[in-house]
Amino acid sequence: MCSFRPCWTCCCLLLFFSLEVQGSPKPLSAAPEQVHLSYPGEPGSMTVTWTTWVPVPSEVQYGLQPSGPLPFQARGTFSPFVDGGILRRKLYMHRVTLRGLLPGVQYVYRCGSAQGWSRRFRFRALKKGPHWSPRLAVFGDLGADNPRALPRLRRDTQQGMYDAVLHVGDFAYNMDQDNARVGDRFMKLIEPVAASLPYMTCPGNHEERYNFSNYKARFSMPGNTEGLWYSWDLGPAHIISFSTEVYFFLHYGRHLVERQFHWLESDLQKANENRAVRPWIITMGHRPMYCSNADLDDCTWHESKVRKGLRGKFYGLEDLFYKYGVDLQLWAHEHSYERLWPIYNYQVLNGSQEMPYTHPRGPVHIITGSAGCEELLTPFTLFPRPWSALRVKEYGYTRLHILNGTHVHIQQVSDDQDGKIVDDVWVVRPLLGRMMYL
């Protein structure tokens, strides 16, 4: 009688070989890819971020002419990023910040090194000060598969419709998948938009793997928290990006909830003191406080974690945002569009019956998570809640025009209806007497 003993060495070799065959690495390249921009918060500046597969110098050449030599150079740094997947793939992330840019002027640039250059891209430097009217594209939950809004966003970008993009969490689905190759594919997909506009982000639940490592490595946001929370000024608005995810993935550190909360309070206090210069305070975070979708997400619960905090009483954000008079709260996570009446603690606080968004007595919430991903759209409950003003179950994205210190224009674009505007509302706040709702 013969016995059979499995050869574990052979099994491991076969597994390794099959993984390599499944995704055989291309020859390592010094050519830049996944190029994208972000605003580092310093007027007259722009950060360029890209990826290579070998360690090479980080340089951006730029100028004002679309063709011919690019007379200006800026150098930066690169850092290795090792994905947490089984192949431990190594990428090199390059960051270069351009400074001294002329406000509102269009620049042409390329990035890379003598070992390989990107193609040329264009961007327009952000204008300085509060006295101009920024236009933004706002959305969340955009995947590498089924990115329904992306072709229209690309066309809008080519037509110069926006000054910046706000991506309110959930990228690629997911950036870590297939040993981070899905992240690579997604960053290439958004390059026509993100290499032309500052692409500002916040983390969502789909970035959680390996302690948000792909999100932290791939994006370059202001501040020193690896993009988890930060703020920046744009025209007459102060924009705050934060992580709702610290409330859910506590194994990465409960202290992050407290740290972010105290940072938010300090930042909101300063922003309130600066209302005369920048009257609007706008927040963006992934998981909403409220929603009327037919699922079991946090926002469907009366005492949601983001709204009321840990155990329903620690570090809740609704009271904090209400105390400091946040005007507009942007959310995603639900794969749909929903606009709420001005609200605080389930109480509708419309300015008046005829003009609910003129001098509202509470913040306005917009949930815009229908840009398109493999998980498709999220249905709504049969009947809307009393605080729900409009619900749209269609692919699309939001346009946000901060006209001046008193008027903000919000529109929802339906990709299902070939770009039709399916929501159109103005939020009007007085310049005086808007320090806080309380």
242 assigned to some structural domain: yes
- What's the structural domain count of the chain? 2
From the list 73, 58, 30, the residue with the least C-alpha distance to 220 is 58
Same domain, 54 and 159: no
Q: What is the 3-class SS of 140-157, one letter each residue?
A: CCEECCCCCCHHHHHHHH
Task: Give me the pLDDT at residue 356, please.
Answer: 97
User: 86: domain CATH number?
Assistant: 2.60.40.380
Contact predicate 282/366, CB 8 Å: no
Same domain, 157 and 100: no
| H or E stretch at 264 | helix 255-273
299-345 residue pLDDT tens: 999 899 999 999 999 999 999 999 999 999 999 999 999 999 999 99
Same domain, 102 and 137: no
Of 124, 145, 166, the residue at which a domain comes to its end is 124
Task: Give me the pLDDT at residue 16, please.
Answer: 46
Task: Give me the pLDDT at residue 263, please.
Answer: 98
Task: Give me the pLDDT at residue 24, please.
Answer: 53
Residues ≥6 apart with Cβ < 8 Å to 421 = 411, 412, 413, 414
Of 99, 124, 149, the residue at which a domain comes to its end is 124
212 assigned to some structural domain: yes
Task: Give me the pLDDT at residue 126, please.
Answer: 98
Same domain, 370 and 272: yes
Task: Give me the pLDDT at residue 432, please.
Answer: 65
Same domain, 174 and 108: no
From the number of C-beta atoms within 10 Å of its C-beta (0-12, 13-18, 19+), residue 68 rates as exposed
The mean pLDDT values, 10 residues at a time, for the chain of 438 residues are 43 44 66 98 98 98 94 98 97 98 98 97 98 98 98 98 98 98 98 98 98 98 97 98 98 97 98 97 98 95 94 96 98 98 97 96 98 97 96 98 98 98 96 64
Same domain, 94 and 38: yes
The CA distance from 290 to 288, in Å, is 5
Same domain, 144 and 253: yes
Global confidence as pTM = 0.93
Task: Give me the pLDDT at residue 14, please.
Answer: 43
Task: Give me the pLDDT at residue 249, please.
Answer: 98
Task: Give me the pLDDT at residue 436, please.
Answer: 66
Task: Give me the pLDDT at residue 247, please.
Answer: 98
Same domain, 370 and 413: yes
Same domain, 311 and 165: yes
144 assigned to some structural domain: yes
Same domain, 345 and 378: yes
205 assigned to some structural domain: yes
Range of the domain at 87: 33-124
Residues ≥6 apart with Cβ < 8 Å to 233 = 41, 130, 239, 278
Of 124, 139, 165, the residue at which a domain comes to its end is 124
